[in-house]
Structure 1
Amino acid sequence: MASESIAPSWTSRYEDWHSRTTAHPSPSSFTPTLASLSLAVLRNTAVEPEGFTLALFDAGDDKVAIDAMGRVLLVSDPDYAGVIDLARRVAVELPETGRFRNTWVLKHAATSQPIDRLLVVVDGRLKETSVQGFVKGKTELKIPVGDIGELPDVLGEVAGLALEGRTGYSRGSGDSAIVQKVKDILSGEVSL
């Protein structure tokens, strides 16, 4: 019997952060601003070239997430701090790829893989790191970055955590108005 290839495991102490959120008690009272933004994640695919996954905001006492369905959610302080710390590590510690949107490209047999764009606020500015073809547990890069041939663990962890923002996502449903507000604050900073 031939042995099966098993993908390496993917774990994070912050896994399932999205399921631990609670609905904002007054979602219409929350206004996303660039000043309170900590992280935004956009998704580019052939079907949705300007897709949206997640935005995290530090609104003083509240840590707020807006997910792909436009739900306004309260995030626990430990989950928020953990995800943001990992995202900032990606922005500060990893080398630049030298490619458009600082993209790390995973090896796949098929082309046209989704690109997840992580926009992290560092020192008051958005820094972008993208991953093309992210799948939990898949790490081999199609194009090495310097002498790095595998997706760095911290980048894989953040990408996996960010995708929780697409939980229950159904294209064309949800609160598109709040998602558009997030895109509007980003549009002056990055190309969507």
Structure 2
Amino acid sequence: MLRPFICAIVTVVAISCYQLLKFTTLGSSLKFLPMSEPTWSSIYSGYLHRADPHPNPKTFTPIRSALELVVLRNSQVEHEGIDLAIFSDRTVIDSKGGVRILKEHDFEGIMELGRLVNDLPTTGGFRNQWRVQHDRTGRPIDRILYAGGKLSPVPRERYEEEYTETSVYGFDKHRIRLEERVGSFTTLAPPLWELVGLAMEARESEREEDVAVLNKLKAVLGNVY
């Protein structure tokens, strides 16, 4: 009479031990799994492909008071780089000096991202720099200068008096964790991550660099470098 009962108890104990061992092993292995990082995306991605060609790119002269925002790049090989510049008439200049007219939907969306970035907490550090965590140093820095179409005709000596700056060290479309917390953020703020990712698309042009257009643009930017 006792034998079936004892066998049943032994079976239950064996199953319980197996389940405990399985979950303990799983829990231990999960500790060593790396935290997944998101992949960058934006509904405005491809904005330059949707943009219309400028009717007169060779004669185009940027107007300083119309500048809304510019994204600059500083790296070991490019000290005074330009990602893109956007003006209030929807004109956009890419890193090679290509001039296009943004679709209204893309223009409004990108400018809204610029305003959201402008309202983010400041880091309190040099050039308001958000630093993405990397294993190695020497990463590029992308600098967002928000003007909001309020620049005076003549550049001021200190560009900080004209622009609101937010920069990102080590932007990556698969990394968002920060070296140090910024306000309540431990990862790159979503609008900042999205905006810099869009600026990166302006560096993908395979056209020949239009030095004349880039020089005109640098002339209206002021002392930003």
Normalising by structure 1, we get a TM-score of 0.88
Match of 2:102 in 1: 75
Deviating runs (4+, > 3 A) in structure 1? 2-7
Q: Measure how far apart 1:18 and its partner are.
A: 1.4
Q: 1:185 corresponds to which letter in structure 2?
A: V
Describe the superposition over 1:103-126 as per-residue Cα deviations: whole angstroms up to 9, x where unpaired: 100000110100000111247242
Equivalences for 1:1-192 in 2 at 5 Å? 7-59=37-89, 63-91=90-118, 93-122=119-148, 124=150, 125-168=162-205, 173-188=208-223, 190=224, 192=225
**Larger-Rg structure:** 2
Check whether the contact 1:68–1:169 (CA below 8 A) recurs between aligned residues. no
The count of corresponding residues between Structure 1 and Structure 2 is 183
Taking only aligned residues, the RMSD between alpha carbons, in angstroms, comes to 1.9
Q: Does the 8 A contact of 1:38 with 1:56 survive in 2? A: yes
Identity of aligned residues (%): 39
In structure 2, distance between residues paired with 1:151 and 1:132: 10
Q: Comparing both structures, which one devotes a greater share of its residues to helix?
A: 2
Asked if structure 1 preserves the Cα contact closer than 8 Å seen for 2:50 and 2:103, the reply is yes
Q: Give unmatched runs, 5+ long, in structure 2.
A: 1-31, 151-161
Asked if the contact 1:23/1:73 (under 8 Å) is kept, the reply is: yes
1:41-75 Cα shifts (integer Å, max 9, x gaps): 1100011111111001123xxx1111011111111
Q: Which residue of 1 aligns with 2:26?
A: none
Cα distance between partner residues in 2 of 1:44 and 1:37: 20
SS of the residue 1:18 aligns to = helix
Please name the residue that 2:15 is paired with: none
**In 2 relative to 1, CA 54–177 (structure 1 residues): closer, same or farther, beyond 3 Å?**
same
How far apart are the structure 1 equivalents of 2:87 and 2:167? 20
